[in-house]
């Protein structure tokens, strides 16, 4: 059994990246770290983590083809979204459909956020604007970079266009917790979204097929220490796991890995995998592309309206519905074995880990 790649690969395959690892580019005092690229995702999406100093930012622009999502990891980030401005704190999410004018500014020291863009085109912008670096953390000082000036020249295949947009009024804290219907811009406060509970695990859809034209799903997931799920693989979509809180164990093609905040596992179609939440509060961010797996969460999970944290008492886990749809071939899910930790799975006898 071959070992997982632990650097960003140049072709689509399973790989593991530790926190702040990946291909890195410096734009002044902003550090852009590629966690997934067009090459590593098979042109499905780019996923980058961007960190910087207070005042760092990116000028107003739009993508003609790519949908983008921004999820704050650390600090406060101001996001211009169409005619509005928002202050995003850790766990907050901004959804930016193709054609939407947007910009960002770091409003706290050492802010950091994830940006996912569909189609794997927008990432070319960072390799064009930035300089390859061995740094893993943004520097306190650096040479000033006029990003707007650099963007006046077209970037081949970069899917970016500068726009003249300066919304009036003060930036607002994010309070919305509802995901709208349709391909529209919106923001979601930490813990908000479409909730589906499975036992004590809470799966939160931040962006659905309806929001992305089926190009990707974006999820925020949380739960307590528990049991591993069944070993399975997908035939038609890629799944990713980025730990944002606590600790979790991942299994990929028979290999076991512990993930702590910032660690990332890329699971393309055909990769047998499982996971287990290991800390009292475990949280992870997921991108799935294309978005064909959305029915899974509504099948196994049940609506949950008791708050913005996982429940104290386990909710239902609808394995009956899951098995029925899986056997009927209605889900992109192939079960290959029991949970790899020897447990009874979520809601079953504990593994004793």
Domain-embedded: residue 145 = yes
CATH of the domain at 219: 2.60.120.10
Q: Is the model's pLDDT at 234 over the cut of 60?
A: yes
- 171 and 32 in one domain? yes
Band of residue 345 on the pLDDT scale cut at 50, 70, 90:
confident
The answer to whether the CB of 230 falls within 8 A of the CB of 332 is: no
Band of residue 1 on the pLDDT scale cut at 50, 70, 90:
very low
- 219 and 161 in one domain? no
Domain-embedded: residue 262 = yes
> Residue 127 has what pLDDT?
94
- 312 and 204 in one domain? yes
Q: What percent of the chain is predicted at pLDDT more than 70?
A: 97
- 140 and 39 in one domain? yes
- 79 and 35 in one domain? yes
Q: Which residues, including other chains, have CB under 8 Å from residue 96's CB and lie 6 or more apart?
A: 63, 67, 68, 69, 70, 81, 102, 185
- 298 and 208 in one domain? yes
Q: Is the model's pLDDT at 89 over the cut of 90?
A: yes
- Domain end marker among 178, 213, 230: 178
> Residue 6 has what pLDDT?
85
- 244 and 165 in one domain? no
Mean pLDDT, rounded, for 181-186: 98
End-to-end alpha-carbon separation of the chain, Å?
Answer: 25
Q: Is the model's pLDDT at 280 over the cut of 50?
A: yes
Distance, in Å, from the CA atom of 115 to the CA atom of 69, rounded to the nearest integer, reads 6
> Residue 336 has what pLDDT?
94
> Residue 344 has what pLDDT?
73
Domain-embedded: residue 280 = yes
- 213 and 81 in one domain? no
Domain-embedded: residue 9 = no
Mean pLDDT, rounded, for 112-140: 96
Domain-embedded: residue 342 = no
- 260 and 161 in one domain? no
Distance, in Å, from the CA atom of 213 to the CA atom of 241, rounded to the nearest integer, reads 22
- 260 and 115 in one domain? no
Mean pLDDT, rounded, for 139-163: 91
Residue 342 or residue 308, greater confidence: 308
Query: In whole numbers, what is the pLDDT of the chain averaged over residues?
Result: 95
Q: What percent of the chain is predicted at pLDDT more than 90?
A: 90
Give the highest mean pLDDT range of 3-17, 134-148, 285-299.
285-299
Domain-embedded: residue 47 = yes
The answer to whether the CB of 236 falls within 8 A of the CB of 332 is: yes
> Residue 2 has what pLDDT?
56
Chain Cα centroid distance, residue 258: 18
Q: How many domains does the chain have?
A: 2
pTM score of the predicted model: 0.95
Domain-embedded: residue 344 = no
Range of the domain at 211: 193-337
> Residue 188 has what pLDDT?
99
> Residue 133 has what pLDDT?
97
Q: Is the model's pLDDT at 348 over the cut of 80?
A: no
Which of 243, 294, 189 has the alpha carbon at shortest distance from 49? 243
With left for phi above 0 and alpha for psi between -120 and 50, is residue 327 left, alpha or beta? Answer: alpha
- 71 and 122 in one domain? yes
Q: For residue range 2-56, what is the model confidence (pLDDT) as tens digits? A: 567 889 999 999 999 999 999 999 999 999 999 999 999 999 999 999 999 999 9
Q: Is the model's pLDDT at 224 over the cut of 90?
A: yes
Distance, in Å, from the CA atom of 313 to the CA atom of 153, rounded to the nearest integer, reads 57
Residue 249 or residue 122, greater confidence: 249
Give the highest mean pLDDT range of 158-162, 203-207, 333-337.
203-207
**Structure tokens, 14:** 């399973």
Domain-embedded: residue 345 = no
Mean pLDDT, rounded, for 279-304: 98
> Residue 347 has what pLDDT?
56
- 90 and 129 in one domain? yes
């Amino acid at each position: 059994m071959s070992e997982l790649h632990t650097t960003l690969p140049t072709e689509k395959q399973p790989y593991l990246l530790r926190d702040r690892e990946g291909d890195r580019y410096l734009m002044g005092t902003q550090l852009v770290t590629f966690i997934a690229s067009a090459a590593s995702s098979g042109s499905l999406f780019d996923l980058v983590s961007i960190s910087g100093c207070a005042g760092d930012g990116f000028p107003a622009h739009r993508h003609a083809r790519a949908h983008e999502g921004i999820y704050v990891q650390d600090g406060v980030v101001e996001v211009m979204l169409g005619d509005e401005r928002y202050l995003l704190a850790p766990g907050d999410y901004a959804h930016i459909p193709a054609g939407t004018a947007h910009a960002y500014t770091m409003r706290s020291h050492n802010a950091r956020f994830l940006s996912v863009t569909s189609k794997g085109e927008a990432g070319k912008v960072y390799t064009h604007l930035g300089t390859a670096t061995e740094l893993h953390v943004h520097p306190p000082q650096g040479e000033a970079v006029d990003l707007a000036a650099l963007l006046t020249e077209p970037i081949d295949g970069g899917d970016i266009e500068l726009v003249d947009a300066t919304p009036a009024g003060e930036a607002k804290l994010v309070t919305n917790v509802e995901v709208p219907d349709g391909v529209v811009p919106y923001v979601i406060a930490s813990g908000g979204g479409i909730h589906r509970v499975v036992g004590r695990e809470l799966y939160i859809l931040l962006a659905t097929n309806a929001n992305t034209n089926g190009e990707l799903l974006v999820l925020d997931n949380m739960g307590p220490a528990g049991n591993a799920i069944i070993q399975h693989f997908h035939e038609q979509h890629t799944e990713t796991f980025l730990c944002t809180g606590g600790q979790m164990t991942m299994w990929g093609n028979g290999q076991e890995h512990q993930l702590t905040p910032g660690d990332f596992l890329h699971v393309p179609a055909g990769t047998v995998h499982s996971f287990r939440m290991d800390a009292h509060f475990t949280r992870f961010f997921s991108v799935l592309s294309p978005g064909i797996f959305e029915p899974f969460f509504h099948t196994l999970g049940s609506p949950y309206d008791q708050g913005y944290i996982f429940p104290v008492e386990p909710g239902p886990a609808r394995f009956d519905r899951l098995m029925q749809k899986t056997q009927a071939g209605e889900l992109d899910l192939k079960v290959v074995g029991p949970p790899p930790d020897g447990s009874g799975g979520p809601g079953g006898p504990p593994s004793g880990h």
